[in-house]
Chain A
Amino acid sequence: MSHRIMIIDDEKIVGDMAKISLEEEGYEVETFLNAAPALKKLEEEPFDVVVTDLKMKNIDGLEVLRKVKKLHPSTKVIMITAFANLDVAIEAIKEDVFDFFPKPVRIKELKESIRKALIPDDQTKP
Chain B
Amino acid sequence: MTILKKMRSLLGRYGNQLQDRHVNIRSVFQGYKKILDDNNHALKIINDMSEKMSGGYLFDIAYIREAYSELATAMRDCLADFNRLTEGQYPQLEPVFNNIDSHIRELLNPQTKTARRRLISFDNILPESAKEVGGKNYHLSQVKNALGLAVPEGFVLTVHAYDDFIRYNHLDESITGLEDHEYDPGMLAEVRNRIMEGGFGSSLKSEVGEALGRLREECEGACHLAVRSSGEEEDEVFSFAGQFETVLNVFPDVDSVLDAYRRVIASLFSEEAIAYQLNLNYSPAGMRMAVGVIVMVDAVASGVVYTVNPMDKNQQSMLINSAWGLGTSVVDNLTEADTFIIRKKPPFETEEVRLGKKDTMMVMAAAGGLEKREVPADRQRLPSLNAEQLAELSRQALKIENFYHKPQDIEWALDRSGRVVILQSRHLRIQEPAGEDTTETVDAQPPGEHPVLMLDQGIVVYPGAVGGRAFIVDESAALADFPWGAILVARNDSPQFVRVMPYATAIITDSGNATSHMASVSREFRVPTVVNTGNATDVIKHGEDITLKADEDGGMVVYQGMDKEIIGRHHDSFIKLEELFEFRRKKYIMKFITPLNLVNPFTDEFVPERCRTIHDILRFIHEKSMQKLIDSSRFAGRQASLKRLDIPLLEDIHVIDIGGGLKPGTDKMVSMGQVKSAPLRAVIAGMAYPGAWRQNVGNVSLSDLMTASMRTGDIMGSVQVNLAVISRRYLNLAVRFGYHFTIVDAFVDTNPLNNHIYFRFLGGAAAVTKRVRRVHMLEIILRHFGFVTEINGDLITGVVTNVSEAEALRILDQVGRLMAYTRQLDAPLTSEAVADEYARRFINGDYTM
User: Contact residues of A with B, CB < 8 Å?
Assistant: 9, 11-14, 16-18, 20-21, 24, 80, 82, 103-108, 110
**Which residues of chain B in 544-593 are interfacial with respect to chain A, using CB atoms and an 8 Å cutoff?**
552-553, 572-573, 576-577, 580, 582-583, 586
Query: Which label, helix, strand, loop or mixed, suits the secondary structure of the A interface?
Result: helix
Taking a contact as CB atoms under 8 Å apart, the answer to whether B56 and A108 are in contact is: yes
* 10 residue pairs bridging A and B, Cβ less than 8 Å apart: A11-B61, A13-B580, A14-B60, A18-B58, A20-B577, A82-B63, A104-B57, A107-B55, A107-B56, A107-B58
Residues of A within 8 Å of B580, CB to CB, are: 13, 16-17, 20
Taking a contact as CB atoms closer than 8 A, the residue among B58, B552, B577 that contacts A104 in the complex is B58
* CB nearest neighbor in A for B56: A107
Taking a contact as CB atoms under 8 Å apart, the answer to whether B577 and A24 are in contact is: no
Cα of A58 to Cα of B59 in the assembled complex, Å: 21
Residues of A within 8 Å of B583, CB to CB, are: 13, 16-17
Taking a contact as CB atoms under 8 Å apart, the answer to whether B63 and A12 are in contact is: no
Taking a contact as CB atoms under 8 Å apart, the answer to whether B62 and A82 are in contact is: yes
Apart from A21-B573, A104-B52, A104-B57, 7 more pairs, CB < 8 Å = A17-B58, A17-B577, A18-B58, A80-B58, A103-B63, A105-B57, A108-B552
Residues of A within 8 Å of B281, CB to CB, are: 16
* CB nearest neighbor in A for B573: A24
Residues of A within 8 Å of B63, CB to CB, are: 82, 103-104
Cα of A113 to Cα of B62 in the assembled complex, Å: 24
Tell me the smallest distance from the CB of A14 to a CB of chain B, in Å. Answer: 5
**Contacts A17-B577, A20-B573, A24-B572 known; A103 to B582 CB distance under 8 Å?**
no
Residues of A within 8 Å of B57, CB to CB, are: 104-107
Tell me the smallest distance from the CB of A84 to a CB of chain B, in Å. Answer: 12
Cα of A19 to Cα of B757 in the assembled complex, Å: 48
Residues of B within 8 Å of A9, CB to CB, are: 60
Residues of B within 8 Å of A106, CB to CB, are: 56-57
Residues of B within 8 Å of A110, CB to CB, are: 58
Tell me the smallest distance from the CB of A85 to a CB of chain B, in Å. Answer: 14
Tell me the smallest distance from the CB of A19 to a CB of chain B, in Å. Answer: 9
Tell me the smallest distance from the CB of B71 to a CB of chain A, in Å. Answer: 15
Cα of A11 to Cα of B586 in the assembled complex, Å: 11
Tell me the smallest distance from the CB of B54 to a CB of chain A, in Å. Answer: 10
Tell me the smallest distance from the CB of A9 to a CB of chain B, in Å. Answer: 8
**Contacts A12-B582, A17-B583 known; A103 to B573 CB distance under 8 Å?**
no
* CB nearest neighbor in B for A25: B573
Taking a contact as CB atoms closer than 8 A, the residue among A13, A24, A107, A108 that contacts B60 in the complex is A13
Interface centre among B56, B553, B572, B586 (most CB of A within 10 A): B56
Tell me the smallest distance from the CB of A61 to a CB of chain B, in Å. Answer: 14
Q: Please, what's the 1-or-0 string for B508-538, where 1 marks a CB less than 8 Å from any CB in chain A?
A: 0000000000000000000000000000000
Cα of A24 to Cα of B580 in the assembled complex, Å: 15
Closest 3 CB pairs of A and B: A104-B59, A13-B582, A104-B57
Residues of A within 8 Å of B572, CB to CB, are: 24
Tell me the smallest distance from the CB of B747 to a CB of chain A, in Å. Answer: 34
Cα of A49 to Cα of B712 in the assembled complex, Å: 78
Cα of A9 to Cα of B62 in the assembled complex, Å: 13
Q: Please, what's the 1-or-0 string for B18-60, where 1 marks a CB less than 8 Å from any CB in chain A?
A: 0000000000000000000000000000000000100111111
* CB nearest neighbor in A for B576: A20
Cα of A18 to Cα of B56 in the assembled complex, Å: 10
Cα of A21 to Cα of B63 in the assembled complex, Å: 20
Cα of A17 to Cα of B577 in the assembled complex, Å: 7
Tell me the smallest distance from the CB of A111 to a CB of chain B, in Å. Answer: 11
Cα of A16 to Cα of B283 in the assembled complex, Å: 13
Cα of A24 to Cα of B56 in the assembled complex, Å: 13
